[in-house]
Amino acid sequence: MSDVLIRRVGRAGRITLNRPDALNALSYDMCLGIDAALREWACDPEVELVVMDAAGKRAFCAGGDIAELHARGSAGDHAFGQRFWRDEYRMNARIAAYPKPVVSLMQGFTMGGGVGLGCHASHRIVGETSRIAMPECAIGLVPDVGGTHLLAHAPGRVGLWLGLTGSRIGPGDAIHAGFADHFVPEAEWPDVIALLEAGNLSIPAHDPPVERLPELREEIGRLFEAETVPALILALESEGTPFAEEALKALRLASPIALCATFEILRRLGSRAEIRAALELEYRFTFRAQAQADFLEGIRAAIVDKDRNPRWRHSTAADVSAEEVADLLSPLGADALTFEEDKE
């Protein structure tokens, strides 16, 4: 059975991630297959819209297949990861600019690469089990797959909080933060999909659950207004609230250089950045992540040895120099991320 089911049903192009035992982790081959289908359907008059969903109840997509990236990267094959990220980011940009409606239904975990698939769609549906996060800093990477674009456009300082801490948000907060559009109870999803396959884009209206972001917005805005990561950590340490302690715990576990690079990416993007600008900046970091940052060590500690004791290159964010961050985010020259439309 294929890891991703690609077919046309009625008026819809259908993409179903089909690795439920692996939480539908996105492999390079899956990425290439999805992108090829999107390109074909863009010019197919029989396809009016695209529907993306996933098998199983636990996850829409819990991220990219980082085990494969670690295995190849640790063996010295950094080019594999660079190709994977390049082609994945091109797919993310294609979804965001797709000429036809793209509907994603995101149950369970939607993290990392899953955000890149589902959260750039034009119509983003979440249900009661949905949990969305960008936890890359915990594995030595920056939020990528266009995630920094979403974070930069989140209200207030919510995006900075989500990007640095990797906090998981439920369906109501995902809509509040701009990662989703519609709350539909998951029992209704088969009926919604049947309508979509018939070319009917009507999505039932349901009030999303009210979660914690509306109440946290003021505290997030006040504590995350610092100008540097070390200053942010000091502000959290002096606060002493349950929220501050929760955020501090996440920051202390994350890669210091990933935190500082994420902070700088979001600073550069501002609130008006286009997704291609975000992807291009993310790629500067990910292109170098295996050789110059903490990515391989983060994966080792999290999923290979599972000792949860990464040996980061820096002890604290205060040890990361501005010059090192600037180097990681400097232009790549001939290796810079480009998009197919630019070359055709």
Token representation of residue 36: 């090829």
Helix axes 229-239, 256-269, angle to 10 degrees: 110
Closest alpha carbon to 218 in 132, 133, 155? 155
What are the start-end ranges of the H helices in the chain?
28-42, 66-74, 78-96, 113-118, 147-153, 158-165, 171-177, 189-197, 213-223, 229-239, 242-253, 256-269, 275-292, 295-299, 322-328, 340-343
Positions annotated as catalytic residues are 64, 113, 136, 144
In this structure, what DSSP letter does residue 182 have? Answer: E
Sign of CA dihedral 46, 56, 110, 83: negative
Taking the C-alpha atoms of residue 322 and residue 202, their distance in angstroms, rounded to an integer, is 49
Three-state secondary-structure class, residue 114: helix
Q: What number of other Cβ atoms are within 10 A of residue 167's Cβ?
A: 20
Which amino acid, one-letter code, is at 308?
R
Which amino acid, one-letter code, is at 82?
Q
Cα angle: 259, vertex 263, 265; to 5 degrees: 115
Taking the C-alpha atoms of residue 139 and residue 254, their distance in angstroms, rounded to an integer, is 7
Token representation of residue 139: 């594995």
Token representation of residue 43: 């010019």
- The tokens 């610092």 sit on which residue? 226
